[in-house]
Chains A and B, each alone.
Chain A
Amino acid sequence: MAEDVRGTHRAGWRAMTTIVQRREVVPSGLLGMVIFVGTEIMFFAGLISAFTISKAGAPSGAWALPAGQMLPLASTAVNTMALFLSGVLVWIAARQYRARSQAAVQTLLAATVLGALFVLLQGREWIGLIGRGVTLWSSALGAFFYVIVGTHAVHAVAALIGLGVAWWRLRAGRLSDGFFLAAQTFWYFVVLVWPVIYARVYF
């Protein structure tokens, strides 16, 4: 963005050549990720919007899971804590990385493991719900639940892959600032969009 414009004239050249030196204000990886996260925020906003309108329009008693089943509020709260803690650990790892501390490797690994734990526990909840007859086709709430929570899980897995690659590169001493910032941004998005989904869908 900030640019240093220098004009050079060399004999034999047809015209003056202008060399524009561009200095990177934001790493390209981070800027690309910010734009991507913006589109993802709109995607989730669309899903939450459809959910909210459908729920508001449903007749009383119709917005429920089959056979009086309930969504697992308490166990999901525990999963949510694991996800939050993972986000905090990524933030701490970033500070350690900037301070050139070797502890960043362990912190980032712990954050990735906690994130993976969140996905695994969510998967276990899904298996339980499916076993009790809550499927994509069992009710409107079930359909929305699997679509919204499943979409978030797909994003969580993708972000975890990014964190895992960042951890691997950090361990090998080959991690670039841009990649780490992009991986962090994606993970913060996954962490911060979850409370909105939890509050809307589970309650």
Chain B
Amino acid sequence: MRECISKRVAGIAVSLVAAPASALACPVCGVIGTGDNTWAYQAMTAMLTLLPLAMVGAAVRWLTRLAARERDAGRRRAVNR
């Protein structure tokens, strides 16, 4: 068991050492020019991360409010009946 763990640790260490110094996570960063676009990459990463979360949150809130309104209307209808 201990030998297995040490082999894994060694494997991870070798992978880290052999990994390239920098990996291009952004598909368009290396396409045009060599200017510093780090800020743009970080800003766009934040936007692309937060935008879907905001949209899903807004949709859930909208549907929940509509459902609550419909539930209240249903109760009122039942009371009036």
A interface list, Cβ under 8 A from B: 1-2, 4, 23, 25-26, 34-35, 38, 41-42, 45-46, 48-50, 52-60, 62, 140
CB A172 to nearest CB in B, in angstroms, measures 30
Which chain A positions have C-beta within 8 A of B34? 57, 59
* Contacting residues, chain B, for A56 (C-beta < 8 A): 35-37, 39-41
Report A-chain residues with C-beta under 8 Å of the C-beta of B26: 53
The stretch among B6-14, B15-23, B48-56 that forms the contact with chain A is B48-56
Interface of B is mostly: helix
- For the complex, would chain A's binding face be called helix, strand, loop or mixed by DSSP majority? helix
Hey, which chain A residues are within 8 Å of B27, CB to CB? 50
The size class of the interface chain B forms with chain A is 20 to 34
Query: Pick the contact of B32 from A26, A41, A54, A60 — CB < 8 Å?
Result: A54
> Which residues in A have their C-beta under 8 angstroms from that of B74?
2, 4, 23
Interfacial residues, chain B to chain A (CB-CB below 8 A): 26-29, 31-37, 39-41, 43-44, 47-48, 51-52, 55-56, 59, 63, 66-67, 70-71, 74
Q: Is the CB of A57 within 8 A of B63?
A: no
CA distance A49 to B59 in the complex (A): 23
